[in-house]
Amino acid sequence: MKRIMNILLLLGVVAAAFFGGFAITGAIGGIDAVNLPEDIRPDDINTEEGDEIIDVPYIYQKHGFPNGCEPVSAVMILWHYGIDIDVNEFVDGYLSMGPIPKVDGEGPDPSEIFCGDPREKSGWGCYAPVITDALTKLLDGSGYTVEEHHGMTLQALCEEYIDEGIPVMVWATVDMIDSSGEKYLARWTTPEGKEIVYNRKLHCLVLVGYDEENYYFNDSLKRGKDGSSYVVYPKEKTEKAYRLLDRQAIAISPPQNGDV
């Protein structure tokens, strides 16, 4: 009887090891983030080459910034570099804001100014040049370099920045939906006569990683299923959403030796 009990105990240990190990295998360097213990952070994952995930502090925009994905994403990256500023300070001190546009009427140019206030439900948003301007003013003389890109592929951004541990702000759509239809578009004219076609599903996120099939983002509208700071979107779907917003991106490169 004692021998039988020992055999059963051994079989139980083997089964636990097998099924416990099976439960945490997955796509990100052999570990599925959905099943990671809470004390494991993204930078603890043993990724293979090309499966880079940068641990960037997370900010949930619905806590005071219902339409503030752009400044919230910028501050997440600033926090990544240890720069002590909150979103309200960034908005009040550096972000150029203007009036709320009147659809089919007149409104500001989102390439020049944030349309409305990101802290208000009536706010709209802005394009990359507005955030570049704010970051440039904030980081003047610090040695950090603000680099704005238009037309650069996500894969190229990953190779140039993510592989070097540098997160990137990216303009895409909420949940990477296909918002190319007319019902998603708002139109108005600037006082100077420029026609604006604005995507109502515009969303700004922080690109923090990638693998063969997916891109990983700090998405200020939601966390990962396991409570982690990043969410996962399929590459094809993400690339289409990114193209809809004209492939806009911003990276902040840290000071090189001797720059500060």
Instruction: Kindly compute the dihedral angle of the four CA atoms of residues 134, 139, 144, 150, in this order, to the nearest 10 degrees.
Output: 10
Distance CA 156, CA 242 (A): 13
Distance CA 29, CA 15 (A): 24
CA distances from 86 to 45, 59, 93, 102, 144 (A): 29, 10, 11, 30, 18
pLDDT in tens, 174-232: 999 999 999 999 999 999 999 999 999 999 999 999 999 999 999 999 998 888 899 99
> Please, which pLDDT band fits residue 32 given cuts at 50, 70 and 90?
very low
pLDDT in tens, 103-136: 999 999 999 999 999 999 999 999 999 999 999 9
Q: For 37-46, what is the mean pLDDT?
A: 31
| 230 in Cβ contact with 51 (< 8 Å) | no
> Which residue reads 């603000």 in tokens?
146
Q: pTM (2 decimals)?
A: 0.80
Query: If you classify domain 52-253 with CATH, what class do you get?
Result: alpha beta
Q: For 54-66, what is the mean pLDDT?
A: 96
Q: To which H or E segment does residue 23 belong? A: helix 2-23
pLDDT at 51 over 80: no
Return the DSSP state at 72: H
What is the structure's pLDDT at 228? Answer: 85
